[in-house]
Chains A and B, each alone.
Chain A
Amino acid sequence: MPEASQKYTFCRTLLNGPSPSHVRELGNSRYPLAMYEQGLAAGESAYDHGGYINIPELPSGVGVRNSCRPEIIEESAYLRILQPAGGWLSAGTLEKLAACAETYGKSLIHFTSGGTIEIYTTREQMVPAVRELNAAGLDVGSTGNDLRCLTACCGPARCDAALIDAPALATYLGQRFIDEQQYPGYPQKVKSGVSGCPNDCTRAMMQKDHSFIGVYRDLPQINSEALLAWQEAGGDLKGLLASCPTEALVWTGSTLAVDPQKCWHCMVCINLCPAIRPGRERGVAWVAGGKYGHRGPQGPMVGYVLVPFIPIKDNDYTTIGDLFGAFLELWADNAQKKERVGDFISRVGPLWVIKELGLNAVPQILISPGRNGF
C-alpha cells in the first residue's frame, strides 16, 4: 500500500473491514486519491461538470470530468470500451486491458454498472491508447447521444436456462450498428440489452431502452422419467405444483401436465425442477422504453412490450436487426431533444409505434383493453 493513502483519514477507514476495498485498488493505481478523500471529507464530489469531449479521431467513447480542485488534478479523462457481450473476458483480454491501463492510463479499470469498461487516462494519451486497444481487438464508443454498448447475459455457453444465444444476438446487433455506437447522432442515449430467457438476469427490461428477451411459445417440456427420478431423490412435487403462478401444472396422480390455457410461459417450474425444460418454439420478445433514471416525464420505468414473439430460426437475426434499425430511425425522426425512448413511447403511444413500423398489434401486449373512452 503506498503511504499516500495512509495520510487520508476517510480513505484509510475504507481499507478496513473484511470485504474487498475499492480504496485499496485506487491506492494501487495512479488514481489521485486526494480527490476521493476531498469528496468524502466535504460530503460532495470534488469533480465538476465535464462531459463528452470531441477528439477529431474519436467522436465517441471519450469523456472528461472537470475538477473543482485543479491543484490536485486539472481534469480527469476516460475512455469507454465496448465490452464483449455477456461480459466474457478471457485471461488474454484482461491482460491487454491491464497493459493498456498501465501504459496509457492510471493503471485502473472500471467495470461500469451499464456494462462497459472504462480506463481513466488523459486527453493526450487517448488516441495512442485506442490504437493499442484496436490492436487487441477492442474499441471505444458508447458515450453521449449514441447507441450504447449492446449487453447480454452469459448465454447458452454457460447457462442451462438460455432459450436463445443472447450474446450472439448482442454481438450481431453491435456489429451491424457499430457506427451508431461510435458516432453520436441521436436525440438522446439509447441503451440495449439481450437476455436469454424471461428470468432476465441482466434486468434489461428495466435498465435498457431496448431489450430482446428470449421466450418460448409452446409449453414447458416434461420428462416423466426424469420427474420420477427427481421425486425419488427428494424433489418436492407439492411445492412444485404450488409454485406455478397460474396454477397451470396439473398432477393426475401419475403424470404431470401443463394446462395450455393457463400457462403464461414464465420460468418458475423450469427453474425449480430439472425434469421440466423450456419449450422448443423459441424467439425473442421485444420490449422498449426501460430506464432507471429520474429524468423525463416518466421517471424510472419498465419498458413496453412491442412484439411478444419474434421467431428465431437458424441463428438468423436479420429480422430483429431490421426492426431495431427501423425503430431507431423512427425515434430519431420524431423524438424531442433529450427524449429517452420510454418517454417517447409514453407520449406517442405504443400502438402508434407499432403501426408506424408496419407491425401488427397483438392482444398479448395489453393487460386489458382500454378502460377510458377518451
Chain B
Amino acid sequence: MNTPDLPAGIMPDYRREIPAGLLARQGSWIWHEILQPGVIRHLAADGSTLLTVRILLPPNGLLSAATLRRLAGWIREYALTGRRTSRQGFEFVGVKPEKLEKLLAELEAAGFPAGGTGKSLHQVKCCTSFVHCQNAAVDAPSIAKVITDFFYRDFLQQELPAPLKISIGGCPNQCGGGVEADIGILGWYESVPEVDEERFLAANIDIGLLVSWCPTGAILTRQVKDGMVVSIDADRCVRCTSCVQVAPEGISLKKRSYVDIAVGGHGGNSYSGPEMAAVVFTRIPARPLEYKAIIDRIEAIINYWRRSGKPGERLAGFIERTGWSSFLEAIGAGGVEEPGDKPSLQTNFRRDLHFRY
C-alpha cells in the first residue's frame, strides 16, 4: 500500500482562502461604515474600498451540501471570497459594487437575507442540542429559530440602541455560549442526576475522577458488598452534569428541563472588560416549540432597552447606568431569591453602600 500515513498533520493556511489581490491589501484598511443593514464598506488609506455582505444562516450553522454549493456559487459570481463568522453566520467579502443589488436580491429570494450588522439583532448563536447531542437539556436550534422569526425585523434594520447578540446553550456545558451574550439562554436540568446502583456497580467507573470532577463535592461514596457506589447530595448539587459525563452507565438525568435567561454579557475591553451575563429569569419552561414564555421575557428586556437606552448603549452599559433594581422591576423579574447565588458562591452580593433606588 502506498498511501500516506494518517493523520496527515495539515493545519490549513488561511492565506490560501483569500485571493492574492485582496491579501496584498492586508493592513491598508483605515475605516469602515455600514451602508445598509448587512452591507459593510471598508476604506483603505489610498481611497479604495471593500464591500462585505453579511447574511443570516440557519440556526447552529447547519448547512446542506446543496446550500454550501450555493454559497460557493455566489462567491464565484459576486465576490472575492467568504468567511464564516464566529457567530455561525456567513459573510461574502469583496463583493463587486456593480453587482451588489443583484446579489442582495438573489440572497433574499433564496431565504438568506443580508443583515445583522451594527445596531441590529445579530445572528443567534446556539449549540446543536437534539440535532446531534446527548447532553442537551433543551433544544437550542429550535429556540434560535423561533427567536429569529419573532425578532426578524430587528435583524433586517438597525434601529436598536446598540448591537444585540443572543446566544443559546442547551446544557450547562454552554457550547452555544449562553453565558456570554447580551441575552443568553441557558438550558438546565431540573433535578439532580440519579444513581442506578446496580448498573453503576456493573460498569467500570473511575470513581476518583467522578468525585474530583464534581465542583461542589456533592458525590458521596459508600462501600457495599460488591464494591463502591455513590450517592449525590441534592443540597450541594449544582446540576452541572459532570458526573453524568464520567459515568453515563450508572448516573442518569431525569429529563425534566427548563431555561434561565441571562442579560448583559459582553466581550471586548472598552468599558468594564469582558463579563459573563447575569441571570435574571430562572426556571422558564422550554418544552420544544412551546417557547412563548421565553419570547415574552426577551421581548420585555428588548422593549425596555429600546425605549430607554441611549444611542450606542449596549444592554450591559444600559443596566450599569440605570441600576439593576429598576431594570429587574421594568422587565418584571421576580425577587432576589431566584437570581441570588447558591450559598457556596456568594460573589454577587454588594459590599459597598452605593445603593440606587
Contacts and interface: CB of A to CB of B under 8 A. Distances in A.
A306 interface: no
Contacts of B333: none
A289 interface: no
A89 interface: yes
Contacts of B5: 57
Contacts of B67: 25, 28
B255 to A, nearest CB: 4
A151 B86 contact: yes
Contact of B63 (A111, A154, A338): A111
Contact of A86 (B83, B125, B130): B83
Contacts of A206: 179-180, 267, 274, 276
A21 B134 contact: no
B343 interface: no
A295 B213 contact: yes
A203 B265 CA distance: 11
Interface string A33-51: 0001001111111111110
Given A156-B29, A157-B23, A88 B81 contact: yes
Nearest to B276: A300
A140 B10 CA distance: 8
B42 A160 contact: yes
Q: Which of B173, B267, B289 has the most CB of A within 10 A?
A: B267
Contact of A207 (B85, B177, B270): B177
Interface residues of B, number: 116
B22 interface: yes
A95 interface: yes
B134 A158 contact: no
B99 to A, nearest CB: 15
A260 interface: no
Interface string A297-323: 111111000000000000000000000
Given A110-B61, A274-B30, A171 B14 contact: yes
A49 B255 CA distance: 14
A188 to B, nearest CB: 10
Contact of B288 (A41, A109, A141, A295): A41
A108 B238 contact: no
A10 B139 CA distance: 12
A249 B112 CA distance: 42
B7 A113 contact: no
B145 A17 contact: yes
B132 A78 contact: yes
A29 B134 contact: no
B330 interface: no
Interface stretch (B51-59, B192-200, B221-229): B51-59
Interface stretch (B148-156, B294-302, B321-329): B148-156
Interface string B9-27: 1111111111100110111
Contacts of A91: 71-73, 75-76, 81-82
A109 B11 contact: no
Contacts of A39: 129-131, 139, 288
Interface of B: 3-19, 22-23, 25-27, 29-32, 42-43, 50, 52, 56-69, 71-73, 75-76, 81-86, 88, 93, 111-112, 125-136, 139, 141-142, 145-146, 148-149, 152, 155, 169, 172-177, 179-180, 208-209, 212-213, 215, 238, 240, 242, 244-245, 248, 255, 257, 267-271, 273-276, 287-289, 312, 345
20 contacts: A10-B288, A18-B152, A43-B255, A43-B287, A82-B12, A87-B85, A90-B82, A98-B65, A110-B61, A111-B84, A114-B175, A130-B6, A140-B7, A158-B42, A158-B50, A160-B43, A165-B27, A294-B172, A295-B172, A302-B275
Given A45-B130, A110-B128, A296-B215, 8 more contacts: A17-B145, A87-B85, A111-B61, A137-B10, A157-B23, A179-B9, A199-B267, A293-B173
